[in-house]
Structure 1
Amino acid sequence: MPMIDLDTLDLPQLKALKRDIEKRISHYSERKRREAYEAANAAAREYGFSLSELVTTSKAGKITSPAAPKYANPENPSQTWAGRGRQPKWFSEAIASGRTAEDLAIGKP
């Protein structure tokens, strides 16, 4: 792979290079995703199934990603809460001591 001296490129050239790199990364990801899908489909066929028969689409079977944290403990910012489920102890104690949820919000002004 040829080395590119980035210090010699002007801003438009750097932006064009960035677009090209992002496009290549996207194409690479798409190709790998297709390859993985085909491999999974082939494995399912070996057992006499289609991939769609094995992959559940019901809400009960969905894997959801965790929600982004909305609140952080001021005394220990590594302790966060997304505002879903049971309130963590640090959150309920802060509310009981007179703070508001807005006081504990991440990214508050």
Structure 2
Amino acid sequence: MADYDLEALSLGELKKMQKDVAKAIATFEDRQKAEARAKVEAFARDLGYSLPELFGTETKSTRAPAAAKYRHPENPSLTWSGRGRKPQWFVEALAAGKTASDLAIS
């Protein structure tokens, strides 16, 4: 390992070295994980399996967007599924005396 005289380095050189060390640490962890994964895959392959067969599929399932249940009375492009925070137009319509069923999409 190289022996550095840190006192002799400029601020720019020290900051570059700091950045290089952080990058080396991050890539070291990535290399360790890749090596471990390769070993596990090789072991599973020796037993006649693949990792997805042992641990399930690797694809992440995504939720389909919720269907709109409510529509703005004057601007039909504004909709709300009824999930999450109420949009401002919905709150204002309720404050103006409308009901949720008045804004429901039929």
Class of the TM-score when normalised by the shorter of the 2 chains: 0.3 to 0.5
TM-score by length of 2: 0.48
TM-score by length of 1: 0.47
